[in-house]
Amino acid sequence: MRIENDPKLDFRDVLIRPKRSTLGSRAHVDVERSFRFPHTGAEWKGFPLIAANMDVVGTMAMARALRKHGAMVALHKHYDAEALIAFFREPESANAFYSLGTTEADHDKLKAVHAQSPISKICLDVANGYTEKFVDTVKATRAAFPDAAIMAGNVVTGDMTEALILAGADIVKVGIGPGSVCTTRKMTGVGYPQLSAIIECADAAHGLKGLVCGDGGLTVPGDVAKAYGGGADFVMMGGMLAGHDECEGEIRYEERDGEKVPVAMVFYGMSSDTAMHKYSGGVAKYRASEGKTVEVPYRGPVEGTMQEIMGGVRSAMTYIGAVYLKEMSKRTTFIMVGAQLNTVFGN
> Is residue 270 within the footprint of ligand 5GP (CB under 6 A)?
yes
**Residue among 167, 175, 118, 189 nearest 147 (CA):** 118
CB of 335 to ligand 5GP, least distance (A): 24
> Is residue 246 within the footprint of ligand 5GP (CB under 6 A)?
no
Name the residue nearer to ligand 5GP (CB basis): 40 or 183.
183
| Cross-strand partners of 48 | none
> Is residue 13 within the footprint of ligand 5GP (CB under 6 A)?
no
> Is residue 184 within the footprint of ligand 5GP (CB under 6 A)?
yes
Name the residue nearer to ligand 5GP (CB basis): 16 or 182.
182
CB of 53 to ligand 5GP, least distance (A): 7
Binding ligand 5GP (rule: CB under 6 A), the pick from 72, 100, 163, 182 is: 182
CB of 321 to ligand 5GP, least distance (A): 28
Which residues, at least 6 apart from 176, have a Cβ–Cβ distance to it below 8 Å? 127, 128, 154, 155, 156, 184, 190, 191, 192, 197
Determine contact, residues 36/60, Cβ cutoff 8 Å: no
Q: Which stretch binds ligand 5GP (CB under 6 A): 25-33, 204-212, 267-275, 306-314?
A: 267-275
Name the residue nearer to ligand 5GP (CB basis): 29 or 74.
74
182 classed as catalytic: yes
> Is residue 152 within the footprint of ligand 5GP (CB under 6 A)?
no
Name the residue nearer to ligand 5GP (CB basis): 46 or 214.
214
* DSSP E strand stretches across 17-120: 33-36, 43-46, 49-51, 72-74, 96-100
Determine contact, residues 234/46, Cβ cutoff 8 Å: no
> Is residue 59 within the footprint of ligand 5GP (CB under 6 A)?
no
3-state helix, strand, coil in the chain (%, to 5): 40, 20, 40
Name the residue nearer to ligand 5GP (CB basis): 29 or 138.
138
* DSSP E strand stretches across 180-324: 211-215, 234-237, 251-256, 259-268, 293-297
Q: What span, in angstroms and rounded, lies between the C-alpha atoms of 262 and 194?
A: 33
Q: Is the peptide bond before 154 cis (omega within 30 degrees of 0)?
A: yes
Please report, as a single letter, which amino acid is at residue 7.
P
Q: What span, in angstroms and rounded, lies between the C-alpha atoms of 278 and 55?
A: 11
Size of the site for ligand 5GP (CB under 6 A): 25
> Is residue 271 within the footprint of ligand 5GP (CB under 6 A)?
yes
Kindly list the catalytic residues.
182
The site for ligand 5GP (CB under 6 A) is made up of 52, 54, 127, 154, 175, 179-182, 184, 215-218, 236-240, 269-272, 290-291
